[in-house]
C-alpha cells in the first residue's frame, strides 16, 4: 500500500499542526475519541455520518503514525479493535479549542448550515 504523502519540512508551527489535522474527518475523530476515551472501529463509523470505510481506516492509520492515536487489537472472534488518544492527541485537542470556538462564531455570523446540531460544543 502506498504510504501517506509524508509530512514535509515545515515553515512554522501552524504548518506542522495543520498537516496533522487536515483531512476531512480528523477533527471529528479527535473529538469522538476525546469524548469517549475509547472507541471501536464501528462505533467511530457510526459517529461520523458519511465517512467511508476507506477514509476512516486511512485517517486512523495516519493519526496513529503521527502519534495521536493508539490502536489496540484484541485477538478475538469476531475481532475487536479499540482506538484511543495518546497524550499528544489529547494536547492537540486542547490546542484546537480556541480554533473551534472561533469557527462556531464564524458559523453564527454568517448563518451557515450545520450538519449535526447535536454536537453544539464544538
Partner DNA sequence: CCGCATCCTTTAGGATACTG
Partner DNA sequence: CAGTATCCTAAAGGATGCGG
18 binds a second copy (CB under 8 A): yes
Residue 78 CB, nearest approach to a second copy (Å): 29
Q: How far apart, in whole angstroms, are the C-alpha atoms of residue 77 and residue 46? A: 21
Residues of span 61-100 touching DNA by CB under 7 A: 61, 71, 73, 78-81
Q: Count of residues binding DNA (CB under 7 A)?
A: 25
Q: How far apart are CA 116 and CA 92, in angstroms?
A: 23
Among 5, 22, 75, 77, binds a second copy (CB under 8 A): 22
Is residue 57 within 8 A of residue 96, CB to CB? The reply is no
For the record, the C-alpha cell of 64 comes out as 496513529
Q: Give the interface segment with a second copy, choosing from 10-18, 36-44, 55-63, 72-80 (CB under 8 A).
A: 10-18
Q: Which of 28, 33, 44, 60 binds a second copy (CB under 8 A)?
A: 28
| DSSP summary character for residue 68 | S
Sheet hosting strand 69-74, strand order edge to edge: 38-40, 80-85, 69-74
Q: Which residues have CB under 8 Å from 21's CB, separation 6+?
A: 27, 30, 92, 96
| Closest separation in Å from C-beta 111 to DNA | 22
For binding to DNA (CB under 7 A), which residues are involved? 1, 4-5, 22-24, 40-43, 50-55, 57, 60-61, 71, 73, 78-81
Amino acid at each position: 500500500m502506498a504510504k501517506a504523502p509524508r509530512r514535509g519540512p515545515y515553515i512554522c508551527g501552524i504548518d506542522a499542526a495543520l498537516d496533522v489535522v487536515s483531512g476531512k474527518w480528523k477533527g471529528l475523530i479527535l473529538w469522538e475519541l476525546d469524548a469517549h476515551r475509547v472507541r471501536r472501529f464501528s462505533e467511530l463509523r457510526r459517529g461520523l455520518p458519511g465517512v467511508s470505510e476507506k477514509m476512516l481506516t486511512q485517517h486512523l492509520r495516519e493519526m496513529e503514525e503521527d502519534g495521536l492515536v493508539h490502536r489496540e487489537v484484541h485477538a478475538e472472534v469476531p475481532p475487536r479493535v479499540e482506538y484511543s488518544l495518546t497524550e499528544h492527541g489529547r494536547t492537540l485537542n486542547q490546542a484546537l479549542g480556541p480554533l473551534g470556538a472561533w469557527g462556531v462564531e464564524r458559523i453564527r455570523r454568517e448563518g451557515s448550515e450545520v450538519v449535526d446540531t447535536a454536537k453544539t460544543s464544538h
